[in-house]
């Protein structure tokens, strides 16, 4: 693009990352806590034990705080689409329209109806009707996430669409291909299950605090049993969905997988790096070692990526420089084809304007031939296809390490809960208390893997980020970046303050929502 202020790309990117990362502090807890609350209320309805009602209402109060403070933090990203990412918004408009409209309508109706029954309806509707509303809030808020992730999954693996060279828009040709995009549903399941893990950690962490303070012991123990049982099941599920997400990356975003694993040199018996320290001097194509130190699981990367011990996993070098033997096209070749697609699109536009229909048809044919490489036409250097390897690698390994720790923690907590010795294990309670921040770090690390790992693409292979940005000045974007940084920090402080105040009041307090 001509006259594009280069800093607009960085500021727009930074602003989107800031808002998405802050938004993602609130959302996963809501997704998971709705289910935990629904399980607790189900126990109440089944047993008729008023203790469970009190327990449910307490956690529902904390859910309300998180929901109210997180509410509409995501809408900012939609503002950003129209201002900072207008090219992108136009190009994806037809694809994003349907899922985001469904999400908006669903969120509005579910939230205004069933949330109201959940909070206002305790003594107004029957127990079963109230329980149904609580479950519908849980299901509805999770389905809301589905549509967002359908849109995101499409960006990572665009399917069910066709680029219209007359309107410059991707038009949906198959709605179900979009919905059942394997990338979208693996991402959806991994994302929501990670939210359930976080909510389980939250309940365990807060309950551990009560046990450490030797107050509300019965309430805390009961809450821990529900959260640890739920947490263990969902964390194991999260492990399988994570495996599927990595497999999707292997199939459709091999560069992302290579960056996640710090894999520069592809091989047929690829090992999985369990722990590793990357060599900061390493660059694609050189002969330096990729790691200063590492601990590997032999064959595991081949096995997990393609379900075969001897499957070939391409590395960054192969994906940049190509490998004829393995049938991997170099980035330089893709860039050339992309430039051919851009040139054909330019010729098509000129021929249409001049009314030369034969030339337009010929140009269109040339464009269609290379349209899958269109995005590469806007790159200048083959190394542009490599994302930030250290950030992707460390974020991925942090997420996996903490994910493994959470499974272990749930097992230990559940074991000591079952033998009724949990409140005597004070060190374990302290560990459980401080595992909550790790849950949040894992959540944010997951977002970084998904989004940094797919750079330079806004839409995989079709639109690089710098082409998605508006031709706009960076000053207002910088201003709003700092404005959001302040606003979100205030909201986060408010969340922590109100939440801790409510936790200190405890389940016996009458000040429920």
Partner 1 sequence: MKWIYRIYHFYRDGFQGMGRLGKRLWLLVAIKLLILFAVIKYFFFPNILEEHFSNDRQRSDYILQQLTQGD
Give the binding site for partner 1 (CB under 8 A): 1-2, 61, 64-65, 68-69, 71-72, 75-76, 79-80, 82-83, 86-87, 89-91, 116, 119-121, 124, 165-169, 339, 342, 345-346, 349, 377-378, 380, 466-467, 470-472, 476, 479-480, 483, 487, 491, 494, 498, 502, 510-513
Q: Which is nearer to partner 1, 263 or 467 (CB)?
A: 467
Looking at beta carbons only, is 140 or 165 nearer to partner 1? 165
Whether the CB-CB separation of 423 and 216 falls below 8 Å is answered with no
* Residues sharing a CB contact under 8 Å with residue 484, sequence separation 6 or more, in sequence order: 15, 18, 19, 22, 76
Q: Which is nearer to partner 1, 380 or 420 (CB)?
A: 380
Q: Which is nearer to partner 1, 322 or 377 (CB)?
A: 377
Of 455 and 502, nearer to partner 1 (C-beta) is 502
State residue 292 phi and psi, 5-degree precision. -80, -35
Give min distance, CB of 120 to partner 1, in A: 3
Q: What angle do CA 166, 170, 175 make, to 5 degrees?
A: 135
Least distance between partner 1 and beta carbon 145 (Å): 20
Token output for 422: 């949990």
> How large is the angle between the packed helices 182-212 and 426-452, nearest 10 degrees?
160
What CA–CA distances, in Å, run from 489 to 26, 54, 202, 331? 12, 32, 20, 41
Shortest approach of partner 1 to residue 483 CB, angstroms? 7
Question: Please, which residue, 61 or 266, has the CB nearer to partner 1?
Answer: 61
Q: How far is the CB of 360 from partner 1 (least distance, A)?
A: 13
Nearest residue (CB) to partner 1, 57 versus 282: 57
Cβ neighbours of 179 (radius 10 Å): 18
CB of 75 to partner 1, least distance (A): 7
| Distance in Å, CB of 381 to partner 1, minimum | 11
CB of 322 to partner 1, least distance (A): 23
Which three-class secondary structure string do you get for 18-35?
Answer: HHHHHHHHHHHHHHHHHH
Of residues 146 and 374, the one with the C-beta less far from partner 1 = 374
d(CA 319, CA 169): 28
User: Is the dihedral angle over the CA atoms 82, 88, 90, 95 positive or is it negative?
Assistant: negative
Minimum CB separation from partner 1 for residue 200, in Å?
Answer: 24
- Long-range CB contacts (< 8 A, 24+ apart) of 121-124? 122/57
Q: Which of 211, 216, 219 is nearest to 423 (CA)?
A: 211
Terminal Cα-to-Cα distance of the chain (whole angstroms): 52
Instruction: Kindly provide the residue ranges of all beta strands, DSSP E only, lying in 391-503, ordered along the sequence.
Output: 457-459, 463-464
Q: Which residues pair with 140 in a beta bridge?
A: none
């Amino acid at each position: 693009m001509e006259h594009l202020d280069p800093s607009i790309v960085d500021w727009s990117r930074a602003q989107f990352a800031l808002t998405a990362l802050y938004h993602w502090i609130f959302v996963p807890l809501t997704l998971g806590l709705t289910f935990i609350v629904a399980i607790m209320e189900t126990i109440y309805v089944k047993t008729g034990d008023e203790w469970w009602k009190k327990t449910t209402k307490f956690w529902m109060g904390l859910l309300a705080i998180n929901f109210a403070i997180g509410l509409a933090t995501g809408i900012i990203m939609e503002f950003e689409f129209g201002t900072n990412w207008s090219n992108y918004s136009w190009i994806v408009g037809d694809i994003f329209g349907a899922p985001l409209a469904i999400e908006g309508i669903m969120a509005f109706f579910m939230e205004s109806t069933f949330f109201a029954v959940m909070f206002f309806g305790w003594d107004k509707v029957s127990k079963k009707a109230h329980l149904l509303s609580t479950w519908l809030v849980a299901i509805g808020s999770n389905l809301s996430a589905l549509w967002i992730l359908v849109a995101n999954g499409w960006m990572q693996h665009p399917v069910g669409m066709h680029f219209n060279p007359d309107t410059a828009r991707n038009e949906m040709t198959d709605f179900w291909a979009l919905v059942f995009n394997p990338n979208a549903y693996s991402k959806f399941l991994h994302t929501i299950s990670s939210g359930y893990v976080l909510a389980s950690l939250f309940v365990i962490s807060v309950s551990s605090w009560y046990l450490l303070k030797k107050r509300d012991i019965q309430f805390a123990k009961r809450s821990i049993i529900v959260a640890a049982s739920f947490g263990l099941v969902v964390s194991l599920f999260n492990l399988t969905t994570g495996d599927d997400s990595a497999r999707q990356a292997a199939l459709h975003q091999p560069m992302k997988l290579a960056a996640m694993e710090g894999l520069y040199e592809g091989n047929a018996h690829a090992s999985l790096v369990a722990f590793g320290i990357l060599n900061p001097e390493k660059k694609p194509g050189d002969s330096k070692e990729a790691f200063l130190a590492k601990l590997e699981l032999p064959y595991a990367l081949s096995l997990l990526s393609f379900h075969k011990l001897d499957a070939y996993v391409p590395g960054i070098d192969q994906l940049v420089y190509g490998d004829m033997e393995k049938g991997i096209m170099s980035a330089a070749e893709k860039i050339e084809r992309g430039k051919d697609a851009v040139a054909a699109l330019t010729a098509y536009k000129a021929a249409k304007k001049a009314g030369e229909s034969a030339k337009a048809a010929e140009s269109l044919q040339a464009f269609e031939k290379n349209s899958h490489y269109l995005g590469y036409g806007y790159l200048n250097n083959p190394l542009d296809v490599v994302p930030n390897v250290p950030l992707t690698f460390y974020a991925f390994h942090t997420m996996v390490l903490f994910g493994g720790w959470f499974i272990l923690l749930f097992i230990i907590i559940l074991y000591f809960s079952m033998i009724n010795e949990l409140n005597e294990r004070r060190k374990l309670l302290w560990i459980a208390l401080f595992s909550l921040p790790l849950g949040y770090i894992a959540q944010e690390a997951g977002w970084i893997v998904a989004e940094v790992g797919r750079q330079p693409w806004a839409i995989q292979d079709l639109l690089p980020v710098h082409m998605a940005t508006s031709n706009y000045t960076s000053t207002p974007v910088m201003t709003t970046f700092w404005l959001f940084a302040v606003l979100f920090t205030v909201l986060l402080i408010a969340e922590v303050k109100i939440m801790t105040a409510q936790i200190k009041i405890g389940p016996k307090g009458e000040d429920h929502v």
